[in-house]
Structure 1
Amino acid sequence: MHENFVIHPNYSHLAAKLTDVLHNFSKKGEYVTKGERNVIKKVQIEETFFNIKKFKTPNAFQSLVYQFLRKSKAKRSFEYASKLIDFGIKTPFPVAYLEVFSGGLKESFYVSEHVNYDFDFRELIHNPKFENRNEILRQFTQFTFKLHENGVNFLDHSPGNTLIVDRGNDTYEFYLIDLNRMRFEPMDFNARMHNFRRLWLSKTMMKVMAQEYAELYNKSVDGTYALMLHYSREFQKKVNSKKLRRRR
């Protein structure tokens, strides 16, 4: 068995305490989410709160792929977060990751700074009367435009993966989470509109966002809205038909 532990220089003074927490993950901290695939816990070390994500143990074949052919989700999360920060795009600060190998990848953890956020993008979908909703949607569109301009194709650009902090005075900050599925590539107009598809936007939301994006990208509002709607409806239909098939 061997381990690969990488920590950001800003936090190297906490390396021993952090590895102790990771080795005793089941006994430390409090649960944030306890999913079938991944578990997230919040822990405090000295004055700072961290989130630790433990990824699901891969099957025997995948564990060998992750050891020899492909970066683990923990390593990708750490590297992608560092890249986003270099672009000036907010994400919980990448602190460390740990990979444990024994005949393949057995366990992997990603550690980031805990962000005290006010709400996530989901709330804008579920509550059409959410205070200042249109302004938040416009600023979220600017945030997504910044991703696209920097060649960031966030494949999991979905409602639960953007945390929002209300800074007051109609100013909002957006933090991307769940980063391990991302491509860095130039994005044409088609790819950009396709990237909105997982957000489950209503037509009302789309009208606000299409108008903002069209202005930023110098495209017609109608053309932007039509393409955004096309990809969103296509995705929603696909998901709904899968749900129907499962029920039968």
Structure 2
Amino acid sequence: MMNIKVAPPYAEDKVLEIIDAFGHSGKTYWKKRNTIKVFEVGNDKWNVKSFQVPHLINRFAYKYVRKSKARRSFEHAEILLGKGILTPKPIGYVEYSQPIGLTNSFYISQNLSYDFDFGDVIDKEFPDRENILNQFTEFTYQLHENDIHHFDHSKGNTLMNKKSSGQYDFYLIDLNRMKFEEMTYEKRIDNFNRLSLTADMIEIVGKKYASLIGQDEAKVIDDIKKSCEKFKEFARRKGRWKKRIGL
């Protein structure tokens, strides 16, 4: 069984043609749990993300209980654009399933040509670094003000393009783990902890975010620092646990 949703003006038959060719065509951009390939479609380039086949329980859940990652990615992209938040233009999603549950699923979007991502800015010598960090903090503030809780707000999931006059565009990607809810102070602070912020980055980001939310600068900086340290310790414990059980 197949379920497909395609945004106009794109055609279902062209989307299915690309999905059918996914296994033997396209340029591989990423291949770990999920696989991302780029396809040339006329004068366009499409980014196609194939999600890993879920384990048995999630196969059932993604078909009968909650939306698949592919569908959530597509729907979240449409919501983001509706709120004025940039993300690569969504084209569609395709789901394949059996009576027992979901098998394969794909999310298709316009491929974005970008200059760098947030991970590049960790380098202290990166050009215009402080300005970029301040604008990125404003971008994160806009997410929070629009009740957007991106659980994968990490260093590789914001792509950036430089504009004129020292301005930058920020594009959010990896959209399936997202919730639209009121962002409390605690949720806002914790939303910085996956970004691999260095000590000097925490100072810059914390100072800017404090000015945006009208909070004490020292408190915000300290709270972000504590949240980052807590997440790092959690990640270390998780890594040790996975190593013990051979994952």
TM-score, normalised with respect to structure 1:
0.95
Structure 2: distance between partners of 1:176 and 1:202: 21
Match of 1:32 among 29, 32, 37: 29
* CA shift in 2, pair 1:247/1:7, >3 Å: closer
Residue matched to 2:110: 113
CA shift at 1:60, angstroms? 2.2
Answering whether residue 163 of structure 2 is matched by residue 184 of structure 1, we say no
Q: Are 1:206 and 2:196 matched, yes or no?
A: no
Deviation (angstroms), 1:244: 4.2
Q: Deviations over 1:39-85 (max 9, x none)?
A: 00000111111100000011222111111001000000000010110
d(CA) in 1 for partners of 2:129 and 2:9? 36
1:141-186 Cα offsets, whole Å, 9 max, x none, are 0000000000001001110111111113211111111110011110
Which position in structure 1 is the counterpart of 2:7?
A: 8
Counterparts of residues 2-151 of structure 1 (less than 5 Å): 2-11=1-10, 14-35=11-32, 37-103=33-99, 104-125=101-122, 127-151=123-147
Structure 2 SS opposite 1:70: coil
The answer to whether 1:227 aligns with 2:223 is yes
Displacement of 1:29 after TM fit?
Answer: 1.1
Q: What whole-Å deviation, never above 9, does each CA across 1:96-145 have from its counterpart, x for those lacking one?
A: 000011121111000011110111111112x1110000000000000000
Residue 219 of structure 1 aligns to a residue whose secondary structure is: coil
Structure 2 unaligned spans of 5+ = none
Tell me how far apart the structure 2 counterparts of residues 77 and 194 of structure 1 sit (CA, whole Å).
Answer: 22
Distance (whole Å) between structure 2 residues aligned to residue 201 and residue 17 of structure 1: 41
Alpha-carbon offset, residue 197 of structure 1: 0.7
Quote the offset at 1:246 in angstroms.
5.0
Residue 196 of structure 1 aligns with which residue?
192
From 207, 211, 216, give the equivalent of 1:215: 211
Letter in 1 for 2:47: N
The number of residues matched between the two structures is 243
- Consecutive aligned runs of 4 or more in structure 1 exceeding 4 Å deviation: 244-248
- Mean alpha-carbon deviation: is it higher for 135-144 or for 59-68? 59-68
Q: CA RMSD in A?
A: 1.2
Normalising by structure 2, report the TM-score.
0.95
- Where does structure 1 lack aligned partners over 5 or more consecutive residues? none
Look up the match of 1:156. Answer: 152
Compute the displacement of 1:18 (Å): 1.7
Query: More displaced, 61-70 or 130-139?
Result: 61-70
Percent identity, aligned pairs only?
38
